[in-house]
A and B are shown apart, each in its own frame.
Chain A
Amino acid sequence: MSCQRAQELIHGYVDGELDPENNLEIERHIQECQVCASTYRSQTALRSSLRDKSLYYPASEKLKKRIQSVVRKEAKSERSPRSLGWRWVAVGASLAFMLLIGVMLWRVLPGVSGPSSDELLAQELVSNHVRSLLLSGSHLTDVLSSDQHTVKPWFDGKVDFAPPVKDFASQDFSLYGGRLEYLNNRSVATLIYQHRSHYINLYIWPTEQRGSTEEITFQRQGYNLIHWTSSGMNYWAISDLNNVELHEFARLVQQQ
């Protein structure tokens, strides 16, 4: 090994970075060469002088605290906009999930959706009934007639179905007139009957449902409502009449 090569490899030797082969060669060379042996000794001395603790500049406590707080501040500023985003995603996801559950219940459990939609409709009918009476006759009827043969044709061309119209004057439920309404997102034929001083609104529109269903009774704001279907028609009767007499009326309509 030449001295020129050894002069560089000595550093690798001092630093313990040589492979075993070069390590062995350097050790041999140092034993034989005074110059390189001297270099080796001075390097060892230099090393120990450089490893003096006072040459090391550790960070001050002040700097450590400052950097820690600067980094934490940075973490917070990175966090706030991003986690806000995540929060909205979470809100959106839970709303979507609730909606999904709602749709599933709606589909799977007709019992849940049925009454609630009927109840909404009942509320709408009560409002309509009250409004029709508030307008004190002028808007209670579009066609004022106790003659079923006048009222029934009146609906021709106004609705796409022919509501059954019959006067029950002999049973003290006299036909008073007819009216066109827009309810439940469709045109609805409305018949008005009078029983003593009480008015009955009978709402009629077609349904997909075949056959007849049992009467369902509701009470809203002091009004009685009876709902049934028969021969492809929805019927809703509403009045301030007592429940018994309104049922009597409903039976008359069903028996016509």
Chain B
Amino acid sequence: MQHEKLASFEDAVLPHLDAAHNLARWLTRSDSDADDVVQEAYLRAFKFFGGFHGTDGRSWVLAIVRNTCYTWMQHNRSPQFSAPLDDELENIESEDLDPEELLQQSQDTEIVRRALQELPVEYREVLVLRELEEMSYKEIAGIADLPVGTVMSRLARGRKRLQKALTKHMQAEVLSELPKSTGTNSRLR
């Protein structure tokens, strides 16, 4: 019986280790923390695997990874986690950003990485699940324990914040590069 359990666990849950690690890495923002969280989450998942009767092993294990991350972050620092959501960016005008300019910015994945990493975790998680994991609103709602409608509004706010952060980083980079003529230029090509 235990043999069967192990076999179906290795079949249904183990293949989603990449997704699990990606989520944990974006939530904890640390390589070593992500590894520890994923290991803990997988042990927990195996213990509770008897309660898994669905077919979507990825959503099931990602919900466990997310919960493990939050517990981890509460116990290990991360004051940023408890920062309240603020809606000050609600009124950002989209014309602040020229699509062409944004496209050029987006060539530099390091800027995108930094901007996404600095987002409050509530926005970060829905963006990671939506854009990197390409999950549906319904799947995201299940994992993040949110109503589907909230998933969309969080994505909307998260993207606006991300755009603003990208602009900020872009400007900073351009300014810092003015005195020098080389450096990260080649990356921006």
A75 beta carbon closer than 8 Å to chain B: yes
A57 contacts which chain B residues (CB < 8 A)?
Answer: 21-22, 25-26, 34
Chain A residues near B143 (CB, 8 Å)? none
Distance to closest chain A CB from B138 (angstroms) = 9
When the two chains form their complex, are residues B46 and A71 in contact, meaning their CB atoms are under 8 A apart? Answer: yes
A82 to B3, CA, bound (A): 12
Residue of B nearest to A79 (CB): B2
In the complex the two chains form, is A59's CB within 8 Å of B6's CB?
no
Q: Is the CB of A50 within 8 A of B127?
A: yes
**Is the CB–CB distance between B6 and A58 below 8 Å?**
no
The verdict on A105 contacting chain B, using a C-beta distance below 8 Å, is no
| A46, CB-defined interface residue at 8 Å | yes
Tell me whether B95 and A75 are in contact (CB under 8 A). Answer: no
A51: nearest residue on chain B (CB-CB)? B131
Nearest chain A residue, comparing its CB with the CB of B22: A57
CA distance A56 to B133 in the complex (A): 9
Q: Is A45 an interface residue (CB 8 A)?
A: yes
Asked if residues A55 and B132 are in contact (CB atoms below 8 Å), the reply is: yes
Q: Which of A59-102 contact B (CB under 8 A)?
A: 59-60, 63-64, 66-68, 70-72, 74-76, 78-79, 82-83
Q: Quick one: closest A residue to B42, CB to CB? A: A67
State A63–B42 Cα separation when bound (angstroms). Answer: 11
- CB neighbours of B26 from chain A (8 A): 57
Interface-facing stretch out of B66-74, B80-88, B104-112, B176-184: B104-112
**Secondary structure class of chain A's binding surface, majority of residues:** helix
Interface-side segment among A9-17, A136-144, A148-156, A245-253: A9-17
- Residue from B25, B136, B156 within 8 A of A7 (CB atoms): B156
Q: Known contacts A72-B6, A75-B2, A75-B46; decide if A11 and B17 are in contact (CB<8 Å).
A: no
Q: Confirm or deny: B20 has a beta carbon within 8 angstroms of a beta carbon on chain A.
A: yes
Chain B interface mostly helix, strand, loop or mixed? helix
Measured between beta carbons, the chain A residues less than 8 angstroms from B131 are 47, 50-51
Chain B residues contacting A74 (CB-CB under 8 Å) are 43, 46-47
Q: Is the CB of A46 within 8 A of B35?
A: no
Contact A11 B159 (CB under 8 A): yes
Number of chain B interface residues as a range? 35 or more
A214 within 8 A of B: no
Residue of A nearest to B107 (CB): A49
Known pairs A8-B153, A42-B163, A79-B3; A49 contacts B39 (CB<8 A):
no
Task: State whether the Cβ of A35 lies closer than 8 Å to any Cβ in chain B.
Answer: yes
Q: C-beta contact mask, B96-133 vs A, less than 8 Å → 1, else 0?
A: 01010011011101001100100000000001001110
Which B residues touch A78, using CB under 8 A?
2, 5
Interface string of A220-245 (1 = CB under 8 A from B): 00000000000000000000000000
Q: Are A8 and B156 in contact (CB under 8 A)?
A: yes
A39 proximal to B (CB < 8 A)? yes
A171 on the B face (CB < 8 A) = no
Known: A59-B38, A72-B6. A41 touches B99 (CB 8 A): yes
Chain B residues with CB under 8 A of A39: 94
Check B152 for interface membership: any CB of A closer than 8 A: yes
Task: For the complex, give the distance between the alpha carbons of A49 and B102 in Å.
Answer: 9
Q: Which residues of A contact B152 (CB under 8 A)?
A: 8, 11-12, 15, 17
Report the 4 A-B pairs with minimum CB-CB distance, sorted nearest first.
A49-B106, A59-B21, A79-B2, A39-B94
Which residues of B line the A interface, CB within 8 A?
1-3, 5-6, 9-10, 14, 17-18, 20-22, 25-26, 34-35, 38-39, 42-43, 46-47, 93-95, 97, 99, 102-103, 105-107, 109, 112-113, 116, 127, 130-132, 136-137, 152-153, 155-156, 159, 162-163, 166
Return 9 A-B CB contacts under 8 Å, by A number: A39-B94, A42-B99, A45-B103, A46-B162, A46-B166, A48-B103, A50-B112, A59-B21, A74-B47
